[in-house]
A and B are shown apart, each in its own frame.
Chain A
Amino acid sequence: MSEASQLADAPAASGTGRKIGEVILDVQNISLAFGGVKALTDISFNVKEHEIRAIIGPNGAGKSSMLNCINGVYQPQHGSITFRGKTFDHMNSHEVAVMGVARTFQNLALFKGMSVLDNIMTGRNLRIKSNLFMQALRIGPAEREEMRHREFVEHIIDFLEIQPYRKTPVGQLPYGLQKRVDLGRALAMEPQVLLLDEPMAGMNVEEKQDMCRFVLDVNDEFGTTVVLIEHDMGVVMDISDRVVVLDYGKKIGDGTPDEVRNNPEVINAYLGTSH
């Protein structure tokens, strides 16, 4: 606990410690259609290292589909994605994970039958070196490796404050905690880019504050680049550096929160007048 709060306390003041770097992820002219439904039409935007990049837009605008393209879950029909200087027509889920992109899901995609601990441990799998036989025998190195990863995961569990649920099957947790576990699993991958799909849905203000803190801490402390989809404008406007706005598959805005907030097209399509 104390460690986590120290982590968070120091740079809490408005991210002054962060330096936003070069473009790490560049999405160019992505188009994706399902039969007649055009989920994405010619979308381009980029994400810079260490920044928090938000994607907003009305329901069905194509936000999740965008993440799915980056992740290799969907294959776009047109366009390309450049990650750390390498350009791909389409991505392959496994490779994307190896390159250091992690993801949380809008409709909880946790492993229901497994405990919280095991769920988060799966995030470490890419880093496990011991082979099948060593794991079966659990001798020396395999065991030590397992312990190392366990320790790392315990830090995440502490950080997310879900210690009491370690051994609970995730299916039994309330929705909000499941969202945290989902985040924990992504963090366990020690990603360079973290894609978050509505991580704060179904939470009250206090819990959202917690979540924001986690996201900011990760971003501050580890310099993790964050791509965030969220419908709570308060959150988006407060914590993101730049915002992309999608509407029915098209990009209608891109810029700093303030620019976006004042973009009439965006107001019309998404924000409405109340903000």
Chain B
Amino acid sequence: MDPKKIVLNVNGIEVIYNSVILVLKGVSLQVPEGGIVAILGGNGAGKTTTLRAVSNLLKGERGAVTKGSIELRGERIENLSPADLVQRGVVQVMEGRHCFAHLTIEENLLTGGYTRKNKGEVAANLEKVYTYFPRLKTRRTSQAAYTSGGEQQMCAIGRALMTNPSIVLLDEPSMGLAPQIVQEVFDIVRDLNAKERVTFLLAEQNTNMALQYSDYGYIMESGRVVMDGPAADLANNEDVKEFYLGVGGGERKSFRDVKSYKRRKRWLA
């Protein structure tokens, strides 16, 4: 990693749910200022948990960081409330959308602007989100619960952008979105990153896209980081190719032809 300024430094954290289930077993990662960092890994690897630990949303899940430290621009943030973190520019897009069901799409977005006191700024942000996701504009008066899955996902992302963040934690942004929109979401990420120097930490299953757009990647397996490196290197790693990009041995295999035996290899276990 180049000697860029590290904004977010996660240092050997352990996370325990319900005071018995140990989920993260010493995860460390760094996010440089203005970088796009991806966390990859299979179901249950602990990506979401890592993001929750950073944004301090673990408490509501009865989880806790029991070891290690998390620093934001050199400041320890384990004891800050999520609201404090948003004030400092860190916002998370939660997995599974979590739109406010009874609020309309527009109200959802406006709630995202709660921390911004400047009315003009909020209005401008709203317009920006609407230009990113025109679909939201047409559905603005509809209660979030009655919109389609993809519309809710857009709403969740848009809502987070309304806070004018400097670091965005994106948990599976592409889930449930049509391919074109996925493309657009990643373009937005790149856009914000380039134009507004927003830093991104994203957990993604769409490895292909994630590696294409990010600078650096971490691969997690059962609560540990098993591999990390610049995105380009990871994309060329044979194992990554085979297990995460589905192009092992050169050609992409048809989903119809995949072998039925269990092939997953564990790096560590």
Q: Which residues of A contact B (CB under 8 A)?
A: 5, 8-9, 12-15, 34, 37, 57-61, 64-65, 106-108, 161, 172-177, 198, 201-209, 212-213, 216-217, 231-235, 238-239, 270-272, 274-275
Contacts and interface: CB of A to CB of B under 8 A. Distances in A.
Nearest to A211: B255
B226 to A, nearest CB: 14
Interface string B155-194: 0000000000000000010011111111100000000000
Interface of B: 17, 21, 40-45, 48, 95-97, 135, 139, 142, 146-151, 153-154, 172, 175-183, 205-208, 243-246, 252-264
Given A14-B257, A176-B42, A233-B179, 18 more contacts: A12-B257, A34-B146, A37-B142, A58-B178, A58-B181, A59-B176, A59-B177, A61-B148, A107-B149, A173-B44, A201-B175, A202-B95, A204-B207, A205-B243, A206-B263, A207-B42, A234-B255, A235-B255
A198 B255 contact: no
B43 A59 contact: no
Contacts of B17: 172
B230 to A, nearest CB: 20
Nearest to B246: A205
A203 B135 contact: no
B40 A204 contact: yes
A238 B246 CA distance: 14
Contacts of B179: 231-233, 270-272, 274-275
A203 B244 CA distance: 10
B178 A270 contact: yes
A59 B151 contact: yes
Contacts of B253: 209
B258 A212 contact: yes
A58 B255 contact: no
Contacts of A232: 179
B172 A202 contact: yes
Nearest to B172: A202
B244 A205 contact: yes
A171 to B, nearest CB: 10
Contacts of A161: 262
A5 B260 contact: yes
A65 B148 CA distance: 9
Contacts of B147: 60
A161 B261 CA distance: 11
Given A60-B151, A205-B207, A206-B264, A177 B135 contact: no
